[in-house]
Amino acid sequence: MIRRCLTMSVFLLIACFATVAFASPFHDHNQAVSANRAFEALSNRGIDWPTASQIMRVATLQNYNTRLVVLSTTILGTASGLIGTFLLLRKRSLMGDALSHACLPGIGLMFMIMVALGGDGKYLPGLLLGATLTGAGGVVLVLMIRNTTRVKDDAAMGLVLSVMFGIGVAVLGMVQAMPDASAAGLEYFIYGKTASMVMQDFTLISAVAAAVTIMSLLLFKEFTLVCFDEGYASTQGWPVTWLDIAMLSLVTSVTVVGLQAVGLILIVAFLITPAAAARFWTENLKRMLLLSGMIGAISGWLGSSISALLPRLPAGAVIVVVAAVIFLVSMIFGSSRGVLLRVLARRRLNRKVGRQHLLRAVYELIESRKHPEMTDVANVAIGMDDLLHRRSWSRKQLEKLIRIAKHEDHIEYYNGKLLRLSEPGFGEAARITRNHRLWEMYLIKHADVAAAHVDRDADTVEHVLGAEMVRKLEIELVKRGQTLLVPPSPHTIITGA
């Protein structure tokens, strides 16, 4: 244990040292440049708000460059939304992050190799190949750390992510010091720079996105199985490891071609946010995939359009912000597991429960005042204080419930201070009390619930009893010779508090 910790810390130390050692000679220069840029951004605060005609031009894709960027990010969004869904369901969200950060050293190294071979250092396919190689290397490293040591997934990912990024920054530092090689522009891969995109990039993104889309749709069944239950998948003879590799390769492809558009720091948000947002709207995986692809596409389109209108805002960041806004909206309004839906459902239930409690309390109160010789319960007026002692509710709560009941025309005031059930209210109260008691009797007879506890137990269920269940209850109890009028309570009703 100790030895492993030591090895690891040595590894980390070397990495940190390497970062500092290689980067420091150019540190001043870098700092100057970035300080310069920061100063520019600070001193020039005004945002040039676009005019309507500018918005029209971007929305209708009239400018060649805008068209290229907007279409690229839209297509990329679709693909990343699709494969991101599987990544999310495989619980590998952070893996995408480790992967994208591990791309950076590859870019720098490949640049060096290509320059050394006398070629153009910024030849894009070459750079992306390098990114792919180290990105995949990062994933392999995570898996190796996880499988051979006791370091857990999250720690392994965090480690690889930061170390690989550190190495990448160091390599970029070295690259900039190389003689006769203009490395300017490589740092665009970190934050992304859509403005630098050309036709060649568009073709690449489209081809990769199409391939990823087709692959993830073809392998839908297999990916679903592996994500849901890998143990079962493996007993069925599915090559789980290979399917995982296929899935991660697709993620890698999207990540690598997306580096230029959104940058390696933000690409993980592009992979995960659409899928996470889509989950709020549906319980069906096919619909979730479709929706996630659509949300990805919308984020890409809207994000790059906004960025085209406000040149000061980098596209990658805006895309991620748009995706996050969609996520937020989904979280609140989502039709399947949105927060608002739950809150409303709970409020509706609470209201219903409150109303039923009030009506039953009133009914039981007037029932207790029934003349012993009368068979029927007469609708007599009662005082509010009597009602207050029926349940553990505060005066304020009770007053609110009465107000609602009065609004619903269930309760009316009688002679000023006294309360009385209205005609429909009386019927409703009798029905509610009857349901409650039917359920109580059922519980006592069939579930061996003690009579002293049954009131509480029935209370938790009766409010959600549907008409169908009440009918079943009736049948069940009629079989046992029960009368179906409001039956007497099977336990003594506590009247005072």
Partner 1 sequence: MGIVGPNGAGKSTLIKACLELIPKASGRVTIYGEPYRKQRSLVGYVPQRESVDWDFPVSALDVVAMGTYRKLGWLRPVSKAQKELAKHAMDRLGVAHLANRQISQLSGGQQQRVFLARALVQDAQLYFMDEPFAAVDAATERAIVTLLHELKDQGKTCLVVHHDLATVAQYFDWVVLLNMRVVKAGPTEEIFTKENLKDTYGGRLALLEEAGQALRHAGNPGSYPGRSQQ
299 within 8 A of 323, measured Cβ to Cβ: yes
At closest approach, how far in Å is the CB of 206 from partner 1? 23
Name the residue nearer to partner 1 (CB basis): 245 or 418. Answer: 245
Name the residue nearer to partner 1 (CB basis): 1 or 475. Answer: 1
**Residues at the contact surface with partner 1, assessed by CB under 8 A:** 1, 3-4, 89, 91, 149-150, 218-222, 224-225, 227-229, 231-232, 234-238, 279, 282-285, 288
Name the residue nearer to partner 1 (CB basis): 281 or 426. Answer: 281
Name the residue nearer to partner 1 (CB basis): 92 or 390. Answer: 92
At closest approach, how far in Å is the CB of 278 from partner 1? 9
SS3 content of the chain, % helix, strand, coil (to 5): 75, 0, 25
- Backbone φ/ψ region at 487: left (φ over 0), alpha (ψ -120 to 50), beta: beta
Name the residue nearer to partner 1 (CB basis): 106 or 274. Answer: 274
At closest approach, how far in Å is the CB of 103 from partner 1? 29
Q: What is the identity of the amino acid at 460?
A: T
Q: Cα separation of 167 and 101, whole Å?
A: 10
Q: What is the identity of the amino acid at 250?
A: L
State residue 413 phi and psi, 5-degree precision: -80, 145
Name the residue nearer to partner 1 (CB basis): 3 or 45. Answer: 3
Burial string for 190-208 (b: 16+ CB within 10 Å, else e) reads bebbbeebeeebbebbbeb
At closest approach, how far in Å is the CB of 241 from partner 1? 13
At closest approach, how far in Å is the CB of 83 from partner 1? 16
Q: Cα separation of 82 and 456, whole Å?
A: 48
At closest approach, how far in Å is the CB of 37 from partner 1? 44
Tokens of 145: 């750390």
Burial string for 47-58 (b: 16+ CB within 10 Å, else e) reads eeebeeeeeebb
351 within 8 A of 372, measured Cβ to Cβ: no
SS3 at position 414: strand
Name the residue nearer to partner 1 (CB basis): 222 or 364. Answer: 222
Q: Cα separation of 223 and 218, whole Å?
A: 9
Name the residue nearer to partner 1 (CB basis): 29 or 286. Answer: 286
Q: Cα separation of 143 and 101, whole Å?
A: 16
At closest approach, how far in Å is the CB of 227 from partner 1? 7
At closest approach, how far in Å is the CB of 5 from partner 1? 10
